[in-house]
Amino acid sequence: MTLQFIHISDTHLLAPDQVKDFTGIQPELALYAEQVLSLPYHTYTAAEMLVRQINGLPVHVDFVLHTGDIAGESDIDYARMAQLFQQINYPVIYVPGNHDRGADISSLTQSPSSPLDQHEINGVQLVCLDSTHADIPDAGWLDDDQLNQLEMICRSDDDRPLIVAVHHHPLPIGVQWLDDLRLGNGEVLHSILMQARHRLCGVFHGHIHHSIDMMKDGILYSSVASAAYQFTGWPGHRQTSLDMAADPGFNVVTITHDQTFVRHHRYRLLP
Ligand SMILES: [Fe+2]
Ligand SMILES: [Fe+2]
């Protein structure tokens, strides 16, 4: 085995004593907001359960990858998230989501972060992209700087295995409500990644609150369930809502010299 990591996403953590203020929210998101407030548990409780689940795994992993929508929109949420996730037995690498726009993600890692963030772990290159955009409320967009940097990475003479992480789903999943909020220039990203297809082990993303694997032109796009709450929505559906019956989850990703394994794990949050 070359590398093993846990893929988590969409913890949407609110501090225990906070109730998010949804006044002024766009009308089309009002139903969603109302449903989040009526969850039978708090997202902080869900995050605590996630930490226990990760620390209780019977296998060792090299790191945890969080693909965004980490917390709410207040600094207090991020401070509490940092405190809580410090209890995880492994280092956590964070990618910003649309709900983290403007948040200081580097405060979670105590290190400066740049829009395109690079790591090397066990000889594997990990590239984290920032798909949040100030002018596009909840959908994603990769700016030219990141696309140019990524193009150089993908064209370079490099034989290290490559992993890419981004919050928004680059390609449509067939549920219109979610696809309207996807990465607007996902096809451009895909065409750049094609240049590194021979060493690309997968693109890992969140945002859709679904656990889906998709292949296009030999490139794996893998998403993970939310650690807080799931969405309904099947291919062909126009609308979605919260899926109160679906359990939270995370994926365990194993990279070997010639294969990528994604094990989708779900666990009960409510008795
Ligand atoms: Fe989310
Ligand atoms: Fe999101």
Residue 17 — very low, low, confident or very high, per pLDDT cuts 50/70/90?
low
* Residue 25 banded pLDDT, cuts 50, 70, 90: very low
Residue 7 has pLDDT above 60, yes or no: yes
d(Cα 223, Cα 67) in Å, to the nearest integer?
Answer: 9
In a domain, 271, yes or no: no
Region 167-190: mean pLDDT is 96
With 60 as the cut, is the pLDDT of residue 244 above it? yes
Considering the domain boundaries, does residue 76 fall inside one? yes
Residues 27-45 have a mean pLDDT of: 69
Cβ count near 265 (within 10 Å)? 17
State the pLDDT at residue 112: 61
Q: What is the CATH number of the domain that holds 101?
A: 3.60.21.10
For residue 69, the CA-to-ligand 2 centroid distance in Å is 5
Q: What is the mean pLDDT of residues 134-163?
A: 95
Residue in 15, 118, 153 with CA at minimum distance from that of residue 71: 15
Q: Which ligand is nearest to the CA of 167?
A: 2
Global pTM reads 0.93
pLDDT averaged over every residue in the chain? 89
Q: Which residue type occupies 98?
A: N
From ligand 2's centre to the CA of 193, what distance in Å?
A: 22
Rounded distance from Cα 123 to ligand 1 centre (Å):
30
Cα of 236 to ligand 1 centre, how many Å? 21
Give the domain extent around 216.
Answer: 3-266
d(CA 9, CA 131): 14
Alpha-carbon distances of 212 from 60, 90, 94, 113, 179, rounded to whole Å: 24, 25, 20, 28, 14
User: Taking a C-beta distance cutoff of 8 angstroms, is the pair 129, 119 a contact?
Assistant: no
In degrees, to the nearest 5, what angle opens at C-alpha 265 toward C-alphas 41 and 231? 50
**Stronger pLDDT, 81 or 7, i.e. the higher one:** 7
Q: What is the mean predicted confidence (pLDDT) over 80-85?
A: 89
| Residue 11 pLDDT grade (very low, low, confident, very high; cuts 50, 70, 90) | very high
Residue 269 CA to residue 166 CA, distance in Å, equals 26
Give helix 43-55 / helix 75-85 axis angle, nearest 10°. 20
What is the 97 CA–ligand 2 centroid distance (Å)? 5
3-class secondary-structure state, position 131: coil
Ligand closest to 137 (CA) is: 2
Who surrounds ion ligand 2 at CB < 5 A? 69, 97-98, 207
Q: Domain count of the chain?
A: 1
Residue 213 has pLDDT above 80, yes or no: yes
Distance 90 CA to ligand 1 centre (A): 23
Give the closest ligand to the alpha carbon of residue 97: 2
